[in-house]
Amino acid sequence: MEQKWWKEAVVYQVYWRSFNDTTGNGIGDLQGVIEKLDYIKSLGVDVIWVNPFFESPDKDNGYDISNYYAVMDKAGDMETFERLLEEVHRRDMKLIMDLVVNHTSDQHPWFKESRSSIDDPKRDWYIWKDPKEDGSAPNNWRSYFTPSTWEYDEKTQQYYFHSFAIEQPDLNWENPEVREEIYNMMRFWLDKGIDGFRMDVINLLAKVKDYPDVDEPETINYLGNNPGIHNYLKEMYREVLQHYDVFTVGEIPFVTPEDGLLYVGEDRQELNTLFHFEVCDDMVQMDLPRFKEIQKRWYEGMFGRGTNSQFLNNHDHTRMVTRFGNDNEYREESAKLLGTLIHTLPGIPYVFQGEEIGMTGIDFPSIEDYQDIAMLNKYNEEVEKGRDEAEVLEELKLLSRDNSRTPMQWDDSENAGFTTGNPWIKVNPNYSDINVRQAMDDKNSIFYYYQDLISFRKRYKVLTYGDYQPILEEHPAIYSYFREFEDEKLLIVTNMSDEETVFDYSVDTSGAELLLHNYAVENDISSSHLKPHEVRVYLWTS
Ligand code: TEU
Measure 251 CA to ligand 1 centroid, in angstroms. Answer: 8
pLDDT, residue 522, reads 55
Sheet with 535-541, edge to edge strand ranges:
469-471, 478-485, 488-495, 535-541, 513-517
List Cβ neighbours of 38 (8 Å cut-off, separation of 6 or more): 91
Ligand 1 geometric centre to CA of 201 (Å): 7
Pairwise CA distance, residues 237 & 250, whole Å: 13
Model's pTM, two decimal places? 0.97
Catalytic residue among 200, 259, 332, 488: 200
Q: Which atom of ligand 1 is nearest to the CA of 373?
A: 19
* Cα 370 to middle of ligand 1, angstroms: 17
CB 419 within 8 A of CB 21: yes
Confidence at residue 471, expressed as pLDDT on a 0 to 100 scale:
97
Residue of the nearest CA to atom 13 in ligand 1? 200
The active-site residue, picked from 251, 259, 316, 355, is 251
Q: Strands 478-485 and 488-495: what pairing?
A: antiparallel
Ligand 1: does its nearest atom lie under 6 Å from the Cβ of 200? Answer: yes
Give the pLDDT score at 509: 84
Which residue, 405, 409, 413, is CA-closest to 362?
Answer: 405
Q: Does 201 contact ligand 1 (Cβ within 6 A)?
A: yes
Ligand 1 pocket, residue 144 CB under 6 Å: yes
251 labelled catalytic: yes
CB 217 within 8 A of CB 142: yes
> Which ligand 1 atom is the nearest neighbour of the CA of 253?
12
> Could you give the C-alpha distances from 21 to 157, 326, 460, 542, in angstroms and in order?
44, 30, 37, 49
60 lines ligand 1 (CB under 6 A): yes
How remote is the CA of residue 474 from the centroid of ligand 1, in Å?
33
Query: Which residue's CA lies nearest to atom 8 of ligand 1?
Result: 281
- The rounded Å distance from CA 416 to ligand 1 centre is 27
Phi and psi at 68, nearest 5°, equal -75, -10
Taking 50 as the pLDDT cut, the residues of the chain under it are none
pLDDT at residue number 46: 97
**Per-residue model confidence as pLDDT tens digits over 369-384:** 999 999 999 999 999 9
Question: Is 258 a known active-site residue?
Answer: no
